[in-house]
Amino acid sequence: MKIKLSDIKPSPRAIRKTWSEEGLEELAQSIKEHGLIVPIKVRPSNGKYEVVYGHRRVKAMRRAGIEETEAFVEGIDDTETLIQSLIENVQREDMTPIDIAQTLFAIQEETGWSQKEMAKKGILTEMTISSHMMLLRESPRIQKLIEKGVPAGYGGGQYASPGKITPTHVREARQTGLDDIYRESVLDKAAREGLTADQTRRVAETVKAAPSEQAKKKVLEWEYSPTLHDPERVKARAKEFGAHDSLYRERTPKADAGWQEAPEVIAVIDTIKRIHDEALPSWKKAVQKMSPEAKPFIGRRVRKLAEDLEVWADELGG
């Protein structure tokens, strides 16, 4: 059905709160050259029409100087308007995770439906609903860092552009059970350093394992390193040295043998010691139970590792 744009008004409950000016300009130019590919949807409202979904397209058409548009028209109530708007925008990947979360919350407040009931009504899967609504428990500052959802199949939300994080980063940090104040610092660090969601979880686990507030602070200060941010190594040191581990003390740089106190040096030595004292005996024990055919195969891999270690030792001057 063709409708004049002058007869279309925005919804007072538009679920999409943000869009880029550049993207809006590109859409306006595309519509001007090729027309509207996907029609908007409206509902009758006091002799006019209210947008159900397609607010951005309406803005772009007005900017392009278009006077009327093709639209689907359906008389639906407020709740169904929210639901259809949410589903259409999510399918088009047009919404930020926070916009999705706020809309889900509005639907829940309006209907009293549980997350399971919303999922049964086909709004989104229960896991998706839960993971998005969880974001509303984060501070406003963390919500601003959350990156617009990445396309399906692209790392599952593992990656975000610098200065941002994804809902996957938040979920991974939350699953460690880290206290809110430290979790927020971990997410800040993830955005600042451009960490993946897996790296973010590793940092969170390391902070949780650190034996004191001073240690947690140091772990957060250190630039991410898989050696420094190794929760198992930190747990082992805590067991050996307790809460007063000298590794986490403030240090004054020294001109002489200061390298011996560098956290990176200590971390590498710790890791080598753990491999030698714990992993190697464990590997030997495991191999004893293997078949005769498997042992030579393992032996060849061990020899290759030994050769690589020998070359590395020579490079280090050891």
Q: Is 111 helix (H, G, I), strand (E, B) or coil?
A: helix
The count of other CB atoms within 10 Å of the CB of residue 201 is: 23
Domain layout of the chain by residue ranges:
1-94, 96-137, 139-252, 259-316
Q: Give me the average pLDDT of each 10-residue run along the chain (318 residues).
A: 92 76 88 89 93 90 92 92 84 77 90 93 90 90 80 64 89 94 95 94 97 94 94 93 86 57 86 89 91 91 92 86
| Alpha carbons within 13 A on the beta-carbon side of 86 | 26
Task: Give the chain's largest Cα–Cα span.
Answer: 85
Distance between CA 241 and CA 236 in Å, rounded? 9
DSSP 19-51: --HHHHHHHHHHHHHH--SS-EEEEEETTEEEE
- Confidence (pLDDT) at 16: 72
Within 8 A by CB and 6+ apart from 316, the residues are none
Within 8 A by CB and 6+ apart from 190, the residues are 165, 169, 173, 199, 200, 203
Distance between CA 85 and CA 282 in Å, rounded? 56
- Is residue 251 within 8 Å of 287, Cβ to Cβ? no
Q: Which tens digit of pLDDT belongs to each residue from 92-111?
A: 666 788 888 888 998 999 89
- Is residue 53 within 8 Å of 43, Cβ to Cβ? no
CATH of 1-94 among 3.40.50.720, 3.90.1530.30, 3.40.50.300, 2.160.10.10: 3.90.1530.30
Q: Is the dihedral of CA 249, 251, 256, 261 positive or negative?
A: positive
- Is residue 78 within 8 Å of 106, Cβ to Cβ? no
Whether pTM > 0.85 for this model: the answer is no
Burial of 108 (0-12, 13-18, 19+ CB in 10 A): middle
- Confidence (pLDDT) at 257: 52
Distance between CA 309 and CA 316 in Å, rounded? 10
| Backbone dihedral angles phi then psi of residue 233, each to the nearest 5 degrees | -65, -40
Distance between CA 110 and CA 103 in Å, rounded? 10
